[in-house]
C-alpha cells in the first residue's frame, strides 16, 4: 500500500481564506483588526522561524501581529512583568498573547504562562482553558491539537469508535489531543491510548492503532513495523537534522518506510505545522470576537 498524503499546507491555505473574510467582517464591525502580541525570548533559530511564520500568516489574513523580543539572559520576574504589561496594554490593544516556547532554562515557564490572562490565552495553555477543554466545553484549544483534529475531520478519517494511540504526553500536544479525540462529536468519540517515555511495549501499542499520532520530537521513532497496514499516521514532530547544523526538517516518523504501510500519513514539513499556525489565527479571531461580544 502507498499511503494517501494528508496535505496540511493546502488545508491551512483554505482555512486562511475563510479567516480572511471573517477578520474583515470583524474589522468592519469593530473598527479595528484583531491584534496578537507574540513574545520571543532569546535567539533560538527554530523559535525565531516559527514566530516569523506566525507573523506572516497573521498578516495574510489581516490580523495585526507584533513580535516583542526579550533577551535570552532575562529572568522570570522580568518576563512576568513584560507579559503583565502587554496584557494591560503596554504594547497597544491586545486580543491574544502568545509566549513562544521553549523559554530559557533559568526561567520558570509556568510562572510566565500563568501571567497570560485566560481571555488572551490563544495558545490554550491557561489552567482555565485546559479545564474547559477537559470538561468538553472548550474555549481556546491548544493549536497543534486543534490542527490535528481538523486535519482528520477534513480528510474524512473516522474517529468515532476508532482506537487512537498518541505517543507523547506534553501539555502542548499529547494531553489536549487525547482529550479532544475522546470528546463527544465530530473528530472525537475515539478510544484513546496515551503513550509516553515510561510506556512498556510501545511498538505493541502503536500496532493497535487505527490512528497513530507521534508527538515526541525524536526523529525515526515510529518505524514501519510499528504501524498496522492501512492505519492513519499523524506526525507532529519537527526535528532539524543534517550535518550543516540541522537544515533539514524531519518528523518523528520514518516517512518513506511508514508511507509504504500506512493508509494515510502527514508529511513533515507541510503536514501538521501549517495547521498549528492556522489554528492560532482562528483562536486570535475568536478572542477578539469574544472581547466585543460577537461570539
Ligand atoms: N513552541 C512549540 N510549539 C508551540 C506552541 O504551540 N505554542 C507556543 N507558545 N510555543 C510553542
Would you state the pLDDT for residue 247? Answer: 80
pTM (predicted TM-score): 0.97
CATH number of 31-119: 3.40.50.10860
Domain ranges across the chain: 31-119, 143-274
Contact 263, 171 (CB under 8 A): no
pLDDT at 244: 73
Task: Tell me, yes or no, if the two domains 31-119 and 143-274 fold the same way.
Answer: yes
Give the number of C-alpha atoms closer than 13 A to the C-alpha of residue 88, restricted to the C-beta side: 7
CB atoms within 10 A of CB 248: 12
pLDDT, position 258: 98
Q: What top-level class would CATH report for the domain 143-274?
A: alpha beta
Positive or negative CA dihedral for 4, 263, 260, 240? positive
Binding site membership of 101 for ligand 1 (Cβ less than 6 Å): yes
Measured by CA distance, the residue closest to atom 3 of ligand 1 is 101
Cβ–ligand 1 contact at 121 (below 6 Å): no
Looking at residue 246, its pLDDT comes to 75
Catalytic status, residue 175: no
With 0-12 CB in 10 A as exposed, 13-18 as middle and 19+ as buried, what is 114? middle
Ligand 1 centre from 259 Cα, in Å?
27
Any atom of ligand 1 within 6 Å of the Cβ of 144: yes
The pLDDT score that the predictor gives to residue 209 is: 99
Low-confidence ranges of the chain (pLDDT < 50): none
The x, y and z cell numbers of residue 282, run together, are 482562528
For residue 104, the model assigns a pLDDT of: 98
Amino acid at each position: 500500500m502507498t499511503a494517501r498524503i494528508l496535505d496540511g499546507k493546502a488545508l491551512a491555505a483554505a482555512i486562511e481564506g475563510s479567516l480572511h473574510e471573517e477578520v474583515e467582517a470583524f474589522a468592519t464591525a469593530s473598527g479595528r483588526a484583531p491584534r496578537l502580541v507574540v513574545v520571543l525570548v532569546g535567539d533560538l533559530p527554530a523559535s525565531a522561524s516559527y514566530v516569523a511564520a506566525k507573523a506572516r500568516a497573521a498578516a495574510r489574513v489581516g490580523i495585526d501581529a507584533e513580535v516583542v523580543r526579550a533577551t535570552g539572559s532575562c529572568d522570570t520576574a522580568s518576563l512576568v512583568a513584560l507579559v503583565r504589561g502587554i496584557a494591560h496594554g503596554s504594547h497597544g490593544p491586545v486580543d491574544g498573547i502568545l509566549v513562544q516556547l521553549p523559554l530559557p532554562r533559568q526561567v520558570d515557564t509556568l510562572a510566565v504562562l500563568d501571567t497570560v490572562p485566560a481571555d488572551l490565552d490563544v495558545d490554550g495553555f491557561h489552567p482555565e482553558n485546559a479545564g474547559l477543554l477537559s470538561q468538553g466545553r472548550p474555549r481556546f484549544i491548544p493549536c497543534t491539537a486543534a490542527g490535528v483534529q481538523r486535519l482528520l475531520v477534513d480528510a474524512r478519517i473516522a474517529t468515532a469508535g476508532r482506537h487512537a494511540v498518541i505517543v507523547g504526553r506534553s501539555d502542548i500536544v499529547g494531553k489536549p489531543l487525547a482529550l479532544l479525540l475522546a470528546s463527544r462529536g465530530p473528530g472525537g468519540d475515539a478510544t484513546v491510548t496515551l503513550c509516553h517515555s515510561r510506556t512498556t511495549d510501545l511498538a505493541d501499542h502503536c500496532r493497535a492503532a487505527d490512528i497513530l499520532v507521534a508527538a515526541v520530537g525524536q526523529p525515526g521513532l515510529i518505524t514501519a513495523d510499528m504501524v498496522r497496514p492501512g492505519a492513519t499516521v499523524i506526525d507532529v514532530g519537527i526535528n532539524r537534522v543534517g550535518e550543516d547544523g540541522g537544515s533539514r526538517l524531519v518528523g518523528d516518523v520514518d516517512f518513506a518506510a511508514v508511507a509504504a504501510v500506512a493508509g494515510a500519513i502527514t508529511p513533515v514539513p507541510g503536514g501538521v505545522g501549517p495547521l498549528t499556525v492556522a489554528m492560532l489565527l482562528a483562536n486570535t479571531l475568536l478572542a477578539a470576537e469574544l472581547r466585543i461580544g460577537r461570539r
